[in-house]
Amino acid sequence: MFADLKIELPFFKEKNSAMIATGFLKGIPSSPGIVISKALVIQPEIFISSNDKVSSEAIPIEIERLSQAWKDLNLEFKAVMERIPESNPGAVNILETNLLIIKDEYLQKSINTFIYEGYTAESAVIREFEKQKVYLLNSRDKILRERATELDHVKTHILSALKQRCLQYSIAKDRVLIAQSLTTTDFVNYKESGAVAVVTEAGGIASHVSILARSFETPAVIGVKDATGIIKNDELVIIDGFTGLVIYNPNKELIDKYQDKIEKIEKHRIALGKLAKEPAITADGRKIHLMANVDRLDDIDSANLVGAEGIGLVRSESLIINYSTIPGEELQSKWYREIADRIYPNPVTIRAFDIGSDKYVEGMPNIESNPALGFRGIRYLLSRTELFKTQIRAVLKASVNKNIRFMLPMISDTSELVKSLQIIDDCKKELSDEQIDFDAKIPIGIMIETPSAAMMADELAELSDFFSIGTNDLTQYTLAVDRTNELVSDRFDSFNPAVLKLIAMTAAAAARKKIPVGICGELAGHSAATTILVGMGITELSVVPAMVLELKNRIRKMKYSTAKKNTLKLLKLPDSYQILKILEQ
Amino acid sequence: MIIFEKEVTVKNRAGLHTRPAASLVKLSSRFDSEIFLIRDGFMINGKSIIGVMTLAAENGCVLTVRAEGEDAEAAVNEIAELFERGFGEI
């Protein structure tokens, strides 16, 4: 199902045209949207040495130059801040932080110390920032290491101010910026002059450019190796901020294809109206995390478009369904990372392979007489630890930006969870020993889809970071109804009070431990179920992308306090007929 | 001179990155006392954003907050509370 994810890209040339070659570059999609326009390649700064010295008489002049540069920078930043709309808290935050760095007296004093040692103002600035960067680069934490780039940006600003450089921002009108990296004020200035998209060589999905691009709704692709060297000024480029693809010199076919895509996205936007940007909050202020279920990469774009706050469920077995064997660690990790990057900064929940039962995989003949009660989910994974470990390591490796949650399927007692956590810890230790980065605090949660798990929810909550209730399996196991069996499938009913009581028990246990509890099954999207689920204290709902807005609309209209009271009454009713009669009113 | 110290833990997941560092510096600057953060014997000035950022304090990391001055106790308590709340981004 993930056939549309091509990591290796074709590089082909037009046969009849000797001069123009279409080329493809792949980076990290960091702000969604598609743009077709001409490139503006911004060449990197010329190299300044950190060893330039001045005579002792010139020291006061250097001190004065630096002090003037600080003043200019202060004014420049304040001017830019005033032009940013308040509705852009992301951008304001970044600029405020830059301004704090510029105003930092201790930093200024420290740079002055180098000047007193005889260095030029420029060399002193470089020396001080290199010193500071070392501390950050030594951090064990990848995000903090990426922050070193922020220091570089402030350094660039000071150096430019020393040179009194004037960039001609106006040439950026309607163009795609191609740069090694962009400083905050440069980004804002270019954007205001009409730049339409951004491509940078520097990576880091949590970087300034990503945050700014998203808050300015400017498509951006980052981490494109040697972009400023490969793409020429004024060349036509296509930027796909959904997939991270950058196409230069596209042929007519590609231009038409992407024009179509742009039109479709526009239509979709208009149809959705403003709801996509509104939060999922009940009328009396309870926040519900509204997320999307995703089985294909295309679904992620849809999820982003409708304003889903993350991905509540990735069924990882859907990745392997087209393969005769289970892919190795590297390939799996690439998949997970691609999904995590595309939904960043929102979280994604990856569920471990739920193989077995109705999900037949080649190489694992399904000969059980009662597969739903058989060898599946966590039972299968715990008996195939090599396969399980490969997946855990792949997920951990993909978790560097700290937006991945990992979830275990079909837990039916605490010992399965304890064993799984031990294996996850072993994998973490291995990766640490190999000095591979991962999110050491990756949230580990479980599916609540067996009645035994719901009844043991308090004990399981002690060991879990979150719960996700799989209502389809929970219904089938609670009511002893195989929904693929026509003779009994009409008895399959998630509104049966027995099922609802188990869901309520699970939600209550989660609330006592203050962990998130979500629903990713079909019930989450059922129009009659929203009030009772929210009323039970469910904090996350995950549905197919197409359903997100409708559900958001319902949440925004309901009151949590009323739903909570009604839920207590509804749970006392004897059958689903009476429950539904009230819910559907 | 009053000296006051307290241990704090970085609770927000992304660690003491730019935004939390900025709120910490803003808060520290409101006090007359000198504010210091100490990690593994490495001490930085709590009113210097570059100092706070280069502490590179990741999630779970334990720091000592130290204040020297008339309002030292209030300063340490308020800063400790900011850490406790995870800078509002747990």
Test A101 with B17 for CB contact under 8 angstroms: no
Nearest CA in chain B to A154: B50
The pLDDT confidence band at residue A205, using thresholds 50, 70 and 90, is low
Q: What is the ipTM of this complex?
A: 0.80
Cα separation of A459 and A294, whole Å? 30
Helix and strand element counts for chain A (H, E)? 24, 16
Residue with the bigger pLDDT between A542 and A268: it is A542
* B16, B50, B60 ranked by CB distance to A106: nearest: B50
Backbone angles phi, psi at A362, to 5 degrees: -55, 145
Please identify which of the residues B9, B17, B61, B80 carries the catalytic annotation.
Answer: B17
**B3 reaches A (C-beta below 8 A):** no
Tell me what the mean pLDDT of segment A410-422 comes to. 97
Residue A526, pLDDT score: 85
Which of A532 and B42 is assigned the larger pLDDT? A532
CA distances from A491 to A451, A480, A572, B80 (A): 17, 9, 20, 56
A441–B59 CB contact, under 8 Å: yes
Q: Which amino acid is at B80?
A: A
Q: CA nearest B23 in A: which residue?
A: A97
Q: Give the closest-approach CA distance of A136 to chain B in angstroms.
A: 5
Question: Which of 11-70 (B) contact A at CB < 8 A?
Answer: 13-19, 21-22, 25-26, 45, 47-51, 53-60
Give the pLDDT score at A242: 85
What are the structural domain ranges in chain B? 3-88
Q: Nearest C-alpha of chain A: how many angstroms from B37?
A: 15
Q: A364 is written with which tokens?
A: 């694992």
Residues of A in contact with B47 (CB under 8 A): 106
Interchain CB contact of A140 with B (< 8 Å): yes
* C-alpha distances in Å from residue A109, one per residue of A63, B31, B35: 10, 21, 17
> Which chain B positions have a beta carbon within 8 Å of A100's beta carbon?
22, 25-26, 49
- Alpha-carbon distance A145 to A136, whole Å? 5
Is any Cβ of chain B less than 8 angstroms from the Cβ of A139? yes
Q: Among A107, A109, A144, pick the best mutation site for testing chain B contact (most B Cβ within 10 A).
A: A144
The full set of domains in chain A, from first to last, is 56-163 (1.10.274.10), 282-467+496-583 (3.20.20.60)
Percent of chain A at pLDDT exceeding 90: 47
Cβ–Cβ of B17/A144 closer than 8 Å? yes
Is B17 an active-site residue?
yes
Mean pLDDT of A300-323: 83
| Numbers of helices and strands, H then E, in chain B | 3, 4
- The full 3-state SS of A15-39, as one line of letters, equals CCCCCCCCEEEECEEEECCEEEEEE
Confidence (pLDDT) at A404 = 97
Average pLDDT over residues B26-41: 91
Closest CA–CA distance from residue B44 to any residue of chain A (Å)? 10
Which one is predicted more confidently, A20 or A473? Answer: A473
SS3 B67: strand
Nearest to B49 among A100, A139, A141 (CB): A100
Q: What's the half-sphere exposure (Cβ side, CA atoms, 13 Å) at A507?
A: 22
- A186-204: buried (b, 16+ CB within 10 Å) or exposed (e) per residue? bbbbbbebebbbbbbbbbb
pLDDT digits (tens, 9 = 90+) for B55-90: 878 888 899 999 999 999 999 999 999 999 888 765
Virtual CA dihedral for A299, A304, A305, A308, nearest 10 degrees?
A: 100
Pairwise CB contact (< 8 Å): B48 & A106: yes
pLDDT classification of A97: cutoffs 50, 70, 90: confident
C-alpha closest to that of A493 among A551, A579, A564, A572: A579
- Whether the link from the prior residue into A345 is cis, omega within 30° of 0, is yes
Task: Say which residues have a Cβ less than 8 Å from residue A17's Cβ, sequence separation at least 6.
Answer: none
Task: Work out the mean pLDDT of chain A and round it to a whole number.
Answer: 86
Fold for B3-88, please state it: Histidine-containing Protein; Chain: A; (3.30.1340)
Contact B59 A132 (CB under 8 A): no
| pLDDT level of residue A143 (50, 70, 90 thresholds) | low
Contact A139 B19 (CB under 8 A): no
Of A94, A132, A402, which has the smallest distance from its Cβ to B50's Cβ?
Answer: A132
